Structure 1
Amino acid sequence: MSLDSPVSRRLLSEEVFHRLRDSIVRGELVPGEKVKDGELAERLGLSRTPVREALARLTEIGLVEAKPGVYTRVTTLNRRDVEKTLAVLRSLDQLAVETAVPVMTERDLRLMREANRDFERAVADNDTTAALAADDRFHAVPLAAADNPVLSRIVEQLHPQIHRILYRKFSTLLGGRNTIEHHDRLVDVCAGGDARAAGELSGAHWSELGGHINRLFDTNQLTEPTDR
């Protein structure tokens, strides 16, 4: 849904939060871009209150940063911050997989395989939005099976910080056969019941992703102007 589409009067702050979060992930609001509650409220046809509440939540999860009296802007892409986020996500995902494997069902494995086939089709169609949605569904299966609400909540908060990089550089980071093959291997290891090996395989994939992102920083492909 476009950022400019009218917002219903129900759960305004929640809807604005999701709308702005998705706009940041998709790059409609770019790193360093200044955001003003009054302008956003006018675009959305709302009062400033739900917009301010949404911006406060986005600040809490690291997608917006504010310097009182100077600016409120989309958080810039900082290598050090990205590395820290990736390190936490790698550990959390590894924990989720290791916890999930002993209790995973045939249905769980089937859902992972189906999500990976959807991912493969989206890659072939060069459909970034569908590919990332399928990738999310794939990783959501062991996360749900782990049945740890605290783990799920933290992962949900951190994912958008990495998704906005994946969205912009999908073909470089996830668009090759490597991710599809990694998913297939992970399902096979999960099916074999080796929780430790599955966790290590998942962690290795996150480390590989971190290496790719570092190379993008090295070649200045993740920098944006900050004077918008």
Structure 2
Amino acid sequence: MVGRLLLRGMIVGALAGILVFAFARTFGEPLVDWAIGFEEKTAQAAGEAAEPEIVSRATQAGFGLFTGIMIYSTAIGGLFALVFSFVYGRISPLGARGTAVLLAIAAFVTISLVPDIKYPANPPAVGNPDTIGARTELFFIMIVASIVGMIVAIGLGRRLAARYGSWNGTIIAGIGYIAFIALIQYLLPSVNEVPEQFSAVVLWKFRVTSLGMHVILWTTLALGFGAWAERELPQTRYRSNATLRRA
């Protein structure tokens, strides 16, 4: 059962990757071209020599972009299916579709939205190359903290639900997660390396487009994988751990 779900997750992830690529190619790449042009003009004005183009821009925006997105989306689809197979029937009485949607929302908030609020995506020409290592570490620290906070919040919500009811338990756990994330984001250093002359409109559109790519990915996984899994698990609700292991 888990193997079939894994395969379905990877297939849906690949389909999501095609949609994400089309979106990124249409709306994201023109912004990247603008940013690269800005970077080149800034370098020329400073009298710096142009850097050699190791990989052509056409390859980056075409085959390179497609390959990277497809590998990432397919891998995320497989991981999504594995997590789904573990939590299905354990965290809520929802069916396959409901569980997939709930899981996708939690994953989007935890992995995409929360880290992006603190350290949003930047186009070329934004960011000091000397600090890329430190910025990457901070970004992954934010992701890990968000995942840990979400796991703790889910466990806390289940315990509180037994005492205060599902609705109240979920609200209390959600408030706890928000407070934890707010504290982590307050403690982590901020990063602001946007050049003064860089277009605020381009920067905003790039960040919205980057977040939109994640929305497409998780929405496709939620709806596509949920519908497919429902055909595999049509009537199963709140299965026991022993049943899951036998499957």
TM over 0.5: no
TM-score (norm 2): 0.30
- RCO (CA 8 Å, sep 6+): is it higher in 1 or 2? 2
* Rg comparison, structure with higher value: 2
